[in-house]
Structure 1
């Protein structure tokens, strides 16, 4: 089911560093509603106030959070009331921001009306093909794996904070691998654009049907390898774009891909470090303490062990609650769960201060839900300690003597 509507643009704003316009659209018809819509200028020309547009309103009609905004799917020529007066998705005479990058033969969003050709990093003709013909590995690179997009800026803030404190870590670069578990266009992410603009990311790779990264990749495996061998990252952060979705069931949620990423990193010779989704502010029982999203991915699906760092600064009662969760679920026995010291609320505030945008999870910021931020920073801290440049100065190996291991 798709809900369509026509309307006229009454406000228009170009989003910074992104091929996206944010529009206010007055809808046609008796309801006279006002719509907030996104318009991608990499597939259609930019619009201006007064233009008529066709919108996909499906998620808004369903009152969804994930994808819960209207999207422009066509521009309508004034003076032609027929639908064949539409400017189609391939008629972009606008900024052409993707035009120079569409020489490849890999189709993303395949067999849909908006399928697009991109140049995959693995393809011939782009400068990386030869290396991908051989057998590559991640060469022991730490990979931070997350189940929510908001983990990306939190982890980057902590890594930049710690790298800035360490003479040995200043040459370390961080890449973002965006999977197709959430939003598919990288352009949706304000955080990815901001982090790239700040120079905190050495590049982005969009995997599977996600698109718009500095590099495009066929799948999670080649995306991770591209982060290491094409972007020369010392650490990678792998998680979906904005828009985690779930059904309230054990396995019916997009964060289940955390297990797939653990498998990919392990198979390729990297170090899988799972950023825990912790909360003691979420009113939903299934997301209290360790979210059931992360627990089900690690206990039911993951076939290889991962490192799961947790913040030692959690107050004792909450720490015991998490320990019980890990013991009951079997995660404590199946994975290397460790308590990481040195991550406090005060230090997290310092780490996030240089970042110019607010970071929230389910609408809650650091003050509202500190445990979430501490969990992500604990994982980032552990990844930092694994860097070769830190081996002599900071505990690095993921073994019991380098953290406070959980029972079981």
Structure 2
């Protein structure tokens, strides 16, 4: 389950809101079976100071190295589980929501929707998003393209990121969120379910959407997981299925669901070429209410393929052709790096243009709500 490692911090590589990236050197195995390449030399580790304190050069740290040992990713980091010789002080006033529940690092957070919160009276009987556009996406990498496009068409639009628990649980893992916030493209992040570390914490996606609208005063909410996702190459075994659930939640609360398509012209896996089966399944099978589906006006045979794949979604949803004029330039000027599955804007422009089309459509809808 967990591959434990001890290491010594060599240096701090960089840090961003809520996270510190470290270079660490692995220490002797102390009787543990050794032999994996990761058992020697240095590697990158990531610490969340709010959970474990801030490691400094010379500190010994405990790591969870399982994903690295198995070559499964987690951003190429071994998470720091503890700085055992220098524990952080107890936090100040905690809330009463427990997230990452019943794990060794379960965290107590103050929920926007819990009793005693300054926002509890606002959210207690709240039941409507009042037509706010809610963009749904199954990959975190769609977030910056959606935000950049919406802001390009409607400068000053207030966008909130409502983060689900299908990927990273700590919002702090995302350099994208930090960069978008610094650039003024996000008014805040609401972490829902088991995810945590946002500007606001909420129990459910539904209360998170209401907090985005009523507490953060958002014009648009973007619902997506944190970085990382899980897929098994099966029809139903992928975390992106939650995008369909997000459509349902937005509609139940009187929002305007906008279903962002996952599109790729470069993915080597046929199931993700054109419109990914993730989008076709989440929106075609899981979403039970109509949504706007922005269909990017991509050129040539590839564009024809995308439009043909979307035809089946038109039986339930509203297919909306979206002109892409100006969006390539807006994406090229993004204040944060655009990357999805290791591919950037130049490698797979269709991927980011599809997300940007959703941002453009949502920006137009948000003007109607005002």
So what's the TM-score if we normalise by structure 1? 0.84
CA gap of 1:196–1:4, structure 2 versus 1, over 3 A, is same
Partner of 2:61: 53
Q: Deviations for 1:227-246, whole angstroms, at most 9, x for unmatched residues?
A: 00011111111100000110
Is the 8 Å Cα contact of residues 5 and 27 (structure 1) preserved in structure 2? Answer: yes
Partner of 2:191: 206
Q: Does 1:196 align with 2:217?
A: no
Q: Does 1:133 align with 2:124?
A: yes
Partner of 1:82: none
Give the alignment's Cα RMSD to 1 decimal: 1.8
Mapping 1:64-83, distance limit 5 Å: 64-66=72-74, 68-77=76-85
Partner of 1:339: 321
Partner of 1:10: 10
Moved more, 30-39 or 382-391: 382-391
Partner of 1:305: 290
Is the 8 Å Cα contact of residues 66 and 245 (structure 1) preserved in structure 2? Answer: no
Query: Secondary structure at the residue paired with 1:24?
Result: strand
Moved more, 381-390 or 108-117: 381-390
- What's the CA shift for 1:349? 3.6
Mapping 1:3-402, distance limit 5 Å: 3-16=3-16, 18-29=17-28, 31-66=39-74, 68-77=76-85, 91-93=87-89, 99-100=91-92, 102-164=93-155, 170=156, 172-312=157-297, 314-327=298-311, 330-341=312-323, 343-344=324-325, 347-388=326-367
* Aligned mates of 1:353, 1:370 — CA distance in 2: 10
Higher relative contact order (CA 8 A, sep 6+): 2
Is the 8 Å Cα contact of residues 259 and 302 (structure 1) preserved in structure 2? Answer: yes
Query: Secondary structure at the residue paired with 1:43?
Result: helix
- What's the CA shift for 1:133? 1.9
- What's the CA shift for 1:176? 0.8
Number of residue-to-residue matches in the alignment? 361
- What's the CA shift for 1:321? 1.3
Is the 8 Å Cα contact of residues 177 and 239 (structure 1) preserved in structure 2? Answer: yes
* Aligned mates of 1:5, 1:280 — CA distance in 2: 40
Runs of 5+ in structure 1 lacking a partner? 78-86, 165-169, 392-408
